[in-house]
Each structure stands twice: as C-alpha cells, then as structure tokens.
Amino acid sequence: MSDIFDEVEEDYRAERMKRLLARYGGLLTGAALLVLLGIAGLEGWRWWQDRAAAQAAVSYLAAGRSAAEPGADAKAVAERFAGIAAEAPSGYRMLSRLRAAALLAEAGDKPGALALWDAVATDDAVDPLYRDLATVLWGLHSLDAGDPAAVEARLAPLAADNGPWRASAAEILALAALKRGETEAARRGLAALAADDTAPQGVRDRAGRLLSGLGG
C-alpha cells in the first residue's frame, strides 16, 4: 500500500513541477541567463584588467630603462610616462605620473613637475600614501620659487601625524622656516629631527648637518 501512496505523491510532485515550469519557466531561464552573463562579464573584466596591467608593466619598465640610459632626454621620457598614465590601470597610472613629474623636474620644467605632483596629491582616486608622497615632493620642490607659507600650510598636517612621511614633512617645514628667515624655528625643528630615533637615518643626518651650519 505504501508503494501506491509513494507513486501518487511522485506523480503529484511531477505535475506540480510541470505547472510551475509552465508559469515561471521563462523567468527562471531569464534569471539563469542573467547570472551566466554576469559571470561572463566579470571574467571578461578581469581578463581585460590583467591584460591592461601586463601591457602597462611592459611599457613602464621600458620607459624606466630609457630614463636610466646615459644622456637620456628626461623630458621625452617624462612624456612617455605621461602617455602610460593616460592608458594604464590605477597602480601604474599613479606610478607613471610620479615618475613623469620627477623627470620633468630633472629636465628643468619645474612648473610642469609641480603641477603634476599637485594633481596626484589632490586626486581622491590615488591611495592616501601616495597622495601624501606627492604633497611632500611638491613641497620640497616649491621651496625655491614658491610661497613658504603655502608650503607650510600643506605640509604641517603631515608633520603632525605618525604617517610614513612625517619626518620628511618636518624637514621641509624646517627648510621653509629658513626660507622665511625664521632661523630659531628652523633650528628647533632640525634639532628635534636629529634626535628623533624614529626618523629615517638620511633625514637625521641632513638635519644634523644643517643644524651644524646654523651653529646648533
């Protein structure tokens, strides 16, 4: 008797499934297609990203080799890096912009370099670590022709926190104080840096030498 009931229940389930498929089969098929298309699109996007990153890496390394050649045209190589930045994924785009700015500075195009560092420093799409690095580089190269007060305003927040560029920002603030003729303020900043065990050795050494030159 139980076999008969099992057969009836199976038939009932099969009939109910037929009715469900008749009513919702189109929707289920569409949903399945959407899932498959989504997976295919995601895989395609990943493939494109990997391919773009690989191409950017090749171009970036080639431009780097050109920059290292004796007698290299720094401005021309900077333009190559700028071209890479225009097409590359975010990581290589940021690195290429920083390299382009450094090469422009080397070529004597300080306004171009400062503009590029400033653009990176104010780009919310760039990781804060590299935005702060661009700010430090902008500040350092702005000291000669720029307004020391503007440099101090932008570098002071970096010197006040415990970030990786704190010591470099503090060094630039001391140089800005010297530029403004505030020797005592510069001396205090340099003395603090020279005694700071957490500061990079190069920064401490430079601070010590500058301090000696100021009679500190």
For 7-39, the pLDDT digits (tens) are 444 544 555 555 555 555 555 555 554 555 555
H or E element: which one contains 161?
Answer: none
CA angle 76, 82, 86 (to 5 degrees): 145
Alpha carbon of residue 191 to chain centroid: 32
d(CA 10, CA 4): 10
Per-residue model confidence (pLDDT) at position 10: 52
Mean pLDDT computed over 120-140 = 94
Closest alpha carbon to 85 in 103, 99, 74: 99
Token digits of residue 9: 């229940």
What span, in angstroms and rounded, lies between the C-alpha atoms of 182 and 138?
21
Please tell me the distance from the alpha carbon of residue 202 to that of residue 204, in angstroms, as a whole number. Answer: 5
- Percent of the chain exceeding pLDDT 70 equals 75
Could you give the dihedral angle defined by the CA atoms of residues 142, 145, 150 and 154, in that order, rounded to the nearest 10 degrees?
A: 0
pLDDT greater than 70 at residue 75: yes
- The least confident of 5-19, 128-142, 151-165, 181-195 is 5-19
pLDDT (0 to 100) of residue 161: 81
Distances (CA, A) of 199 to 6, 74, 151: 80, 31, 21
Would you say residue 100 has pLDDT above 70?
yes
Predicted local confidence at residue 174, as pLDDT: 94
| CA dist., res. 180 & res. 135, Å (int) | 20
**Can you give the pLDDT at residue 45?**
42
pTM above 0.85, yes or no: no
The pLDDT confidence band at residue 49, using thresholds 50, 70 and 90, is: low
The label of the residue with tokens 């065990």 reads 197
